Amino acid sequence: MNYKTYQNLQNEGHEGYNPYTPEPAPLTRTEMMDRINRTLEGVSIHDPRYDELTNQYNELFMAEWTLETTIARRQEWNSWVKTHNGKISNGEVEAKLTEMGITRDALKEAVKLHNLK
């Protein structure tokens, strides 16, 4: 028997327990960080899990934003900003951030964590 056969016979084509359900794919780093953030929103800073969750988030964040990566991305961002004399529209900013694959908040957080000035 396979997933589809079991689903049609036992569950009559509807949702229900199926022992042949494939295992879900493991979470990506971004999905894990999002899940930790959602959990942190509902946890008080006095909760013992708060420090543990914050440490897990920081470890995942620092795995991507190493010192070298932060410096390189910051230089790329600063050089792009300097090429524009005057105002830069929000659309241009968002397009550049998307092209770089980062967010403003992540860049600011990485600069702060690495104590860069």
3-state secondary structure 36-56: HHHHHHCCCCCCHHHHHHHHH
Are the C-beta atoms of 109 and 61 separated by less than 8 Å?
A: yes
Alpha carbon distances (Å) from 32 to 26, 36, 64, 65: 10, 6, 13, 16
Cut 0.85: pTM above it: no
Going 54 to 35 to 95 to 99, the CA torsion angle's sign is: positive
Q: 35-79, pLDDT tens digit by residue?
A: 999 999 999 999 999 999 999 999 999 999 999 999 999 999 999
* Sequence ranges of the domains in the chain: 66-117
